[in-house]
Amino acid sequence: MTTSDAVTTNSAATMNGAVTTTGAATTSSAVTTTGAATTSGGVTTNSVVTTSGAARASGAVAADDAATTSGAVATIDTSRPPVRPAKTAAAAKPNLILGEHSLCPGCGEPVALRILLEVLQDLDIVQRTIGVVGHGCYGSFVRIMDVDVLQCLHGRAPACATGIKRVRPGVAVFTLQGDGDMANEGLQEVLHAAARGENITCVMLNNGVFGDTGGQQTATTVLGQRTKTSIDGRDPETHGYPIPVADLVAGLDGVGYVARGAVSTAGAVLQTKRMIRKAFETQLNRGGFSLVEILTMCPTGWFVPTAEGPEYQQDTMEQRYKLGELV
C-alpha cells in the first residue's frame, strides 16, 4: 500500500493476523483491515478500519462496526457479534407482552395475541383499554398481557364488555374468546351484543376445537376437520354443519365492522392485524359493534405434526371460512 498522502504507520500497520506492513507503509485513501487493527497511534478498532486520509491511520482511527468508505474498500468482521446489535424481529415485540406464553409449539393463538397488542400500541390506547377474556387456552394470556383485563364466565364476555362500555364509554373494550367460548357456550351473547349495536370489539380465535379441554369438536369445526370427537373428520350426517359466526354477525343491523383473518401465513398475519386495527377504529369512531374472527392453528387438537398446522388449516378451515372483510 503506498500513496502520496503519506499517511503513516510508524513502522507497521498490523492487521489482525493478516497483513503486516513495514517501514513507511502508507495509504492514500484506504487501509482496510479485518479484526482488530492497530495503527501507529495504537488505536484499536473493533472490527473495521477504513481510512481515507491522513488522520485515519495516524492515530485517529475510530471505527466501531460501521465502515467508512471514502473511496475505500470496507470489510466487515463477521467472525463475532457486532458491538451494536442490529434491530431484530424479536427485539420488536410489543412491550405489553410480559413473559413467555405456555401454549403448545405451533399454536396460532400467541400470534393473534401479539398483533392485537401491537394494534393497541399503534393506536396509543393501551392506557384506556379493557379486555374481557373468556375460557380456553388463550385464557392464560391474562398473566402475560400488560393490559387491564377481566376474565369472565365461559361465553359471557360480550355481556361483560357491554357493561364495562356503558359505564366507561371513553374506554376501548374488547373481548378475546375462542370458538368454543363464543360459538358454543355463548353464541347468544355475541349475537345479541351485535344486534344491540354495542360499541365494543369482539375477537374470536377460531381453531374449530375446544383446545383447552383436549380438542373436542365445536360448533365451528368444518366438515372433514379432525377433532377428538370427530377423529375421522366432521361428518354432517353425524355431527351436523358448522356455524359461521362472522357471517351470522355480519347479517345483523347494528354492526359496524366484521372481518375474518388467519395467522397461517406471514401475509395473513399482516392482513389480520389491519383488520383488528379497523375494528378498534370503528369502536373509537362510535361506529357500532365490531368483530374479527381469526383462524388459528391447533396442531395438538387436530392431531397433526406441529409444522403441518398451517397447511392443515388452509386445507380445511380456510376452504370453508373465506378470509376478508364481511362488513
Binding residues for ligand SF4 (CB under 6 A): 103-104, 107, 109, 137, 207, 211-212, 298-301
What distance in Å separates the CA atoms of residue 246 and residue 144, rounded to the nearest whole number? 28
Q: Which stretch binds Mg ion (CB under 5 A): 152-160, 196-204, 211-219, 240-248?
A: 211-219
Work out how close the CB of 203 gets to ligand SF4 at its nearest, in angstroms, rounded to a whole number: 15
DSSP H or E segment with residue 176? strand 172-178
178 binds Mg ion (CB under 5 A): yes
227 belongs to the binding site for Mg ion (CB under 5 A): no
Residue 103, contacted partner among ligand SF4, ligand TPP, Mg ion, none, CB below 5-8 A by kind = ligand SF4
Residue 207 sits in the site that holds Mg ion (CB under 5 A):
yes
Q: Does 179 bind Mg ion (CB under 5 A)?
A: yes
CA distance 157 to 163: 10
Nearer residue to ligand TPP within complex by CB, 125 or 223: 223
Residue whose CB is less far from Mg ion, 136 or 288: 136
**Closest to ligand SF4 by CB, 104 or 164:** 104
Tell me the HSE value of 212 on the side-chain side, using a 13 A CA sphere. Answer: 18
Cβ at position 172, least distance to ligand SF4 in Å: 26
- DSSP label at residue 13: E
Return the one option of ligand TPP, ligand SF4, Mg ion, none that residue 310 interacts with (CB less than 5 to 8 A, by type): none
User: 16 vs 43, 196, 227, CA distance in Å?
Assistant: 13, 73, 61
Nearer to ligand SF4, 160 or 205 (CB): 205
C-alpha cell at 72: 475505500
Task: Between 59 and 214, name the residue whose CB sits nearer to ligand TPP.
Answer: 214
Other CB atoms within 10 A of residue 272 CB: 28
Please, which residue, 11 or 213, has the CB nearer to ligand TPP? 213
> In whole angstroms, how close is the CB of 86 to ligand TPP at the nearest point?
35
Q: What's the closest the beta carbon of residue 136 comes to Mg ion, in angstroms? A: 6
CA neighbours closer than 13 Å in the CB half-sphere of residue 185: 20
Residues 263 and 110: their CA atoms lie apart, in Å, by 10
The answer to whether residues 103 and 110 touch, using CB atoms and an 8 Å cutoff, is yes
Spatial contact of 45 and 25, defined as CB atoms under 8 Å apart: no
Q: Out of Mg ion, ligand TPP, ligand SF4, none, which partner does residue 312 contact, by CB within 5 to 8 A per kind?
A: none
Q: How far is the CB of 209 from ligand TPP (least distance, A)?
A: 5
Nearest 5°: the CA angle 207, 320, 240 is: 80
Question: Parallel, antiparallel, or unpaired for β 289-295 and 255-262?
Answer: parallel
